[in-house]
Amino acid sequence: MAAEKLAVIGTGYVGLVSGACFADIGHQVVCVDRDAAKIERLRQADIPIYEPGLEELVRRNMEAGRLRFTGDTAEAVCAADIVLIAVGTPALASGDVDRSQVEAALAQVAASMNIGTLVVIKSTVPVGTARWAETFLRERLTQPVPFAVASNPEFLREGSAIHDTFHADRIVIGADDPAVAARIAALHEPFGAPVLITNRETAELTKYAANAFLATKISFINEMANVCDKVGADIADVAAGIGMDRRIGPHFLQAGVGYGGSCFPKDTKAQLKIAENVQYDFRILRATIEVNRLQRERFVAKIAEALGGTVRQMRVAVMGLAFKPNTDDLRDAPAIDIIRMLQEEGADVRAYDLVATERAARELPGVAMFDDAHAALEGADVMAVVTEWDAVKRLEPADIKRLLRQPIVVDGRNAFDPQRMAAHGLRYVGMGRGATNGKNRQTDLLV
Ligand code: UGA
């Protein structure tokens, strides 16, 4: 692999993690952000997001002289051979994708681009964006220099972003010129992942297809869980049983309160809109989104039912605020909606999270916040599990029983073993754990 000079525009999850990982495999990387305060923090290796291992990775590569941060896009682009665009693409009120940050980045790139610069779009963008970016750049160039625009979508997950980069399932490259595709493939070579080379439109759509499919898998298993509740079946065993079929696979079949975060909710809605814009009604995706919304309501209804029909004047301990463990990200976190619904119905809510309480307090007035799980449970009428932090999963049933005012657990992530909870005298309600009240469960695999 030849070491390349990279400029990464945007220091969010994708930009910061990819920048640091590319530096770690030997490239020269400059990360750019228009937020001067953020750049100042990053220069001290003070990482603005909670991502295990990232601070050490950034520090190590800064010290090795392979990674630096600047607020000056022109300087970074001028010095780079490859420019990665990794800015945010939020949703507009219409449901369309807001490409204004991509556009602003491209405008700056056009002003400082060298001969032969390769512009790679990593942000999640609608089909046609790379082609549009090429025209946009051509129209703004002060001199007619040759350049190329390619698509290289990112598939990393928050909370395991570094692992996902070093152990990627695949690298998808969309480029019209085989030489450009080969250069991007070479850039990734040390990661050792299989590479799929295709045209730009296909690469762009592949990103949405992956997130839409994964979200659909989650909504599917959640609907199965809802049926399990009605017929007395256990979703954990159903998931294990179907997951052993290699055509289905065991991953992403964890039933619960549904998906949240900055990607699935946004990207599923964007894909629906992308289809709508070409007069196609993507029915499965529409249902996926609707099921995910209803799952949050269903969880609140389960809590009310477990408490005898209402949450009014009940103290509910919500365990976990972030949209999943190992992140402090609260964007479209199920806990936020769930807590608001509980409050509307008159509950007294207290909440636990390992890292997100400070941020959550701003969004959720009237909620007592705890970063100690035991303290959150003390005197509550019910423990409602929303995020499966290790600190929650490791809670001892005996301690839960001792701390709660009523021995009720409503587990929105199926994080606990129903039998074990029942053995400790806890009333356990899971998501689709119908017949698992401690009597006839046969989960052990007979191999
Ligand atoms: C997701 C994708 O997994 C990444 O591949 C993609 O790159 C990223 O979006 C993105 O587009 O940037 P992320 O949002 O970090 O990554 O989180 P996931 O780990 O995929 O989880 C998303 C949500 O689904 C979480 O709320 C999680 O609790 C929920 N989930 C996940 C389930 O409810 N059940 C499951 O079986 C799996």
Pairing between strand 427-429 and 368-370? unpaired
Reported as a pLDDT band with limits 50, 70 and 90, residue 444 is very low
SS3 114: coil
Span 31-49, average pLDDT: 95
* pLDDT tens column, 88-145: 999 999 889 999 999 999 999 999 998 999 999 999 999 999 999 999 999 998 888 9
More confident site: 447 or 409:
409
Q: Pick from 283, 219, 276: which is nearest to 253 by CA?
A: 219
Q: What is the mean pLDDT of the chain?
A: 95
Residue 26 to residue 21: CA distance in whole angstroms: 9
Rounded to the nearest angstrom, the distance between the alpha carbon of 213 and the centre of ligand 1 is: 11
Neighbours of 2 (CB within 10 A): 10
Q: What does the pLDDT read at residue 266?
A: 95
Tracing tokens 């400082």 back to the chain, one arrives at 112
Q: What does the pLDDT read at residue 435?
A: 57
Span 373-391, average pLDDT: 98
Which residues form ligand 1's pocket by a CB distance below 6 Å? Answer: 124, 154-158, 211, 214, 218, 252-254, 256, 258-261, 263-264, 267, 323-324
**Is residue 439 predicted with pLDDT exceeding 90?**
no
- Contact between 73 and 9 under an 8 Å Cβ cutoff? The reply is yes
Residue 146 to residue 179: CA distance in whole angstroms: 14
Calculate the CA dihedral of residues 236, 240, 242, 245 and round it to 10 degrees: 170
Kindly state the percentage of the chain with pLDDT values over 70.
97
DSSP annotation of 91 reads B
- Contact between 55 and 47 under an 8 Å Cβ cutoff? The reply is yes
Reported as a pLDDT band with limits 50, 70 and 90, residue 211 is very high
Counting ligand 1 atoms within 8 A of each CB, the residue from 14, 87, 154, 157 with the most, and so the one to mutate, is 157
**Is residue 152 predicted with pLDDT exceeding 80?**
yes
Rounded to the nearest angstrom, the distance between the alpha carbon of 54 and the centre of ligand 1 is: 19
Who's near 351: CB < 8 A, 6+ residues apart?
Answer: 317, 318, 319, 321, 335, 339, 357, 360, 364, 367, 368, 369, 370, 376
DSSP annotation of 337 reads H
Q: What does the pLDDT read at residue 142?
A: 81
Closest atom, ligand 1, to C-alpha of 256? 33
Rounded to the nearest angstrom, the distance between the alpha carbon of 71 and the centre of ligand 1 is: 30
- Contact between 378 and 319 under an 8 Å Cβ cutoff? The reply is no
Span 161-180, average pLDDT: 97
Closest atom, ligand 1, to C-alpha of 253? 36
Rounded to the nearest angstrom, the distance between the alpha carbon of 293 and the centre of ligand 1 is: 16
